[in-house]
Amino acid sequence: MTVALERQDEDLQEDQAAYLGVTRSIKEQVWRERLKPQQTRLATAICQQQDLPDLLGRILAARGATLENVATLMAPTLKAMLPDPSTLQDMDNGAARFAKAIVTGERIAIFGDYDVDGACSSALMARYLRAHGLDPVIYIPDRIFEGYGPNVSAIEKLINDGAQLIVTVDCGGTSHGPLEAAKNLKTDVVVIDHHQMEEHLPPAAAVINPNRQDDLSGQGHLCAAGVVFLFLIAVTRHLRGEGWYGKERAEPDLLRLVDLVALATICDVVPLTGVNRAFVSQGLKIMHRRGNAGLRALADAAGLKSAPTPYHLGYVMGPRINAGGRIGDAALGARLLANDSDSQAVSIAAQLTQLNRERQEMEQRCCEEAFAVAETRVDANPDLPVIIVGSEEWHKGLVGLVASRLMDRFRRPALAIAWNADSGEGTGSGRSISGVDIGLAVREALAAGHLVKGGGHAMAAGVTLNKDKLEAFEVFLAERLSSNVTTARESSSLYIDGALTPEAATIDLADLIEQAGPFGAGNPSPRFVFPAHRVTSVRKMGEAHLRCTLRSGGGSSIGAIAFRCLGTPLGDALQKDDGQPVHIAGRLQRDSWGGREKIEVLIEDLAYPVK
């Protein structure tokens, strides 16, 4: 996720001097100050207006704060930032149809996606409907056998089982065939999605998607759960206008559901701009109250003892929910988050935690195999523009994770493919680096006849292809991407917010920095350099991580950790142990191990001082 978050930083001047003179770090990156020179006066003005320390003003200005919005950014509230749901195209039509179903007691089916956003969106819908006395059906397709989004067979089954209204969440925007099947069976569908869509809409009672080509709401940064939340506000407003609520029917407390929106917003890596900041900020507070039985059980299963943070959502809770969709029962996540039974929630959370352990072990084996093949190819051709690896032994649900790890390690686009030994067909997933549009290249490859299916966006793509087309597909991608990959790798930058020493990296500093949060996509967590520090007490942690101590010239020290670095240039440099000072770039994080809170450094890069 860290890489994904950094890719959504705002454009920065590339002609300013390299930070500390670092033009080529151990990860082959130029270090640059995040604050643009022209933002320096704004940072000072923010500090004066808000009575803030200089560092916080610089952090805020570098992330797009202005004198007009800085107060709202530092204290994001739904009251101040929530848009009018009716600004979304088709919102009022969909809300009216859904409200009618509630009033008349129709049987409603929820068709969701198998990732965290889909699970949260499905649970939001289910909880809202149960608050109105209805018992909806949740259908989550199997990632392996059904794939993403509605399919005709599933839609027909839901209707044959009695569904009178189907609501798709986090999917459905391009499902023309399945929605046509529903129309032929005289069943309305309301689509709630957030993915990019073509101009031609599927047949539905309403298609609510801020990324519709004719939508002018400006809410395209929302995840599906965010769109669902706005939809539920619109439905409530419609029911209120119809006089539905009164002494016998209380309005649902929608604020209690914002914890699910926060989880989805972080895990779907959408920009923390606009109302998304309020969703996360307020949602974390609600999650800390532990009112959702599923989230409570999941936190306990993960051993979380402190108040939840975006890190916990993205790296601890999210992967557990996703594990069901990747290698187990795809519906487990939605069932957990919609559950009010403590015993059932504890049981599902335990299943997901076990599945996540299995997923981690499987991923580790897949990555070891993928790295070995990729290293051989890159050694033979250092200018290789794209890495494509595959195996008949890999699980389809893990290829996206393998591709992401390959891209991180080798700093170029990568695709991982799970081959079917019997059919010769492969299912693959690709990840790219900033400046290289892999989605466009895949769509072009599909048009050229190299793929059975393919699509995606700039940073990620999915493919289905026959093995006899692999070589041609690889040549096609290399020709399309080579120039862009070279340019992107040569200009790769790491953005720095300032320099620190161990004495300055305190709990108080962490508290100060958090005033500019929540951090995530579009609002990256601050990164600092510890200049000319010695790396000591290096020790292995787990299978691929290193812990160490950073020691300044004055003798002060701070603990640090580098994840998944063993066998990489960064890991080799940290273990060099030659006593020479190095520059360390990383983020500060709280460490509560042993019951005593302290600050440690999450190492992201290393550079040797310019002589």
Number of helices and strands (H, E) in the chain?
22, 18
Are 151 and 236 part of one and the same domain? yes
* 570 occurs within a structural domain: yes
| Percent share of the chain, pLDDT over 70 | 97
Strands 453-456 and 188-192: unpaired
Cα-flanking dihedrals φ and ψ of residue 400, to 5°? Answer: -65, -40
pLDDT value at position 145? 87
pLDDT value at position 595? 67
Residue 229 has a CB neighbour count (10 Å cut-off) of 29
Q: Is there a contact between 585 and 528 (Cβ–Cβ < 8 Å)?
A: yes
pLDDT value at position 543? 81
Are 528 and 423 part of one and the same domain? no
Are 212 and 265 part of one and the same domain? yes
Alpha carbon distance 589, 598 (integer Å): 8
Q: Which amino acid is at 71?
A: A
Q: Is the pLDDT of residue 593 over 80?
A: no
Are 316 and 171 part of one and the same domain? yes
* 391 occurs within a structural domain: yes
Q: Give me the residues paired with residue 559 across strands.
A: 549
Q: Is the pLDDT of residue 163 over 90?
A: yes
Number of structural domains in the chain: 3
Return the structure tokens found at 17: 């001097």
Element holding 455 (H helix, E strand): strand 453-456
Are 250 and 130 part of one and the same domain? yes
DSSP-assigned states of every residue in 246-276: SSSSPPP-GGGGHHHHHHHHHHTT----THH
Residue 159 has a CB neighbour count (10 Å cut-off) of 19
Cα-flanking dihedrals φ and ψ of residue 34, to 5°? Answer: -70, -40
Are 227 and 318 part of one and the same domain? yes
* 194 occurs within a structural domain: yes
How many residues are recorded in the chain?
611
Q: Is the pLDDT of residue 3 over 90?
A: no
- Assign residue 229 the CATH number of its domain: 3.90.1640.30
Alpha carbon distance 292, 281 (integer Å): 17
CB hemisphere CA count around 139 (13 angstroms):
24
* 344 occurs within a structural domain: yes
Return the structure tokens found at 469: 């087309």
Domain-terminating residue out of 307, 338, 354: 354
Tell me how far apart the terminal alpha carbons of the chain are, to the nearest angstrom: 34
Q: Is there a contact between 434 and 464 (Cβ–Cβ < 8 Å)?
A: no
Residue-range definition of the domain harbouring residue 429: 381-491
Q: Is there a contact between 355 and 328 (Cβ–Cβ < 8 Å)?
A: yes
Are 480 and 333 part of one and the same domain? no
pLDDT value at position 247? 83
Are 474 and 600 part of one and the same domain? no
Are 344 and 415 part of one and the same domain? no
**Whose CA is closest to 387, among 453, 433, 445?**
433
Are 485 and 553 part of one and the same domain? no
Are 486 and 543 part of one and the same domain? no
Q: Is there a contact between 204 and 175 (Cβ–Cβ < 8 Å)?
A: no
Mind listing the pLDDT tens digit for each residue in 175-200?
Answer: 999 999 999 999 999 999 998 888 99
- Assign residue 484 the CATH number of its domain: 3.10.310.30
Element holding 589 (H helix, E strand): strand 582-591
* 49 occurs within a structural domain: no
Q: What is the mean pLDDT of residues 386-392?
A: 97
* 411 occurs within a structural domain: yes
CA dihedral 236, 238, 243, 247 (to 10 degrees): 0
Alpha carbon distance 434, 8 (integer Å): 9
Q: What is the mean pLDDT of residues 222-233?
A: 98
DSSP-assigned states of every residue in 61-108: HHTT--TTTHHHHHS--HHHHPPPGGGSTTHHHHHHHHHHHHHHT--E
Cα 471 from chain centroid (whole Å): 32
Mind listing the pLDDT tens digit for each residue in 312-366?
Answer: 999 999 999 999 999 999 999 999 999 999 999 999 999 999 999 999 999 999 9
Q: Is there a contact between 225 and 313 (Cβ–Cβ < 8 Å)?
A: no
Q: Which amino acid is at 307?
A: A
How far CA 257 is from CA of 123, 252, 264, in Å, comes to 9, 10, 12
- Assign residue 596 the CATH number of its domain: 2.40.50.460
Confidence of residue 577 (pLDDT cuts 50, 70, 90): confident
Q: Is there a contact between 408 and 3 (Cβ–Cβ < 8 Å)?
A: yes
**Whose CA is closest to 33, among 43, 409, 432, 69?**
43
Return the structure tokens found at 239: 């029911």
**Whose CA is closest to 403, among 366, 441, 444, 361?**
366
Full-model pTM: 0.91
Which residue is listed with tokens 């557990």? 320
| Percent share of the chain, pLDDT over 90 | 88
Alpha carbon distance 435, 160 (integer Å): 48
pLDDT value at position 197? 86
How far CA 31 is from CA of 4, 18, 171, 491, in Å, comes to 18, 6, 39, 10
Mean pLDDT over each residue of the chain, to the nearest integer: 93
Rg over CA atoms, the chain? 25
Mind listing the pLDDT tens digit for each residue in 115-155?
Answer: 999 999 999 999 999 999 999 999 999 988 898 899 999 99
* 180 occurs within a structural domain: yes
Are 108 and 198 part of one and the same domain? yes
Residue 365 has a CB neighbour count (10 Å cut-off) of 13
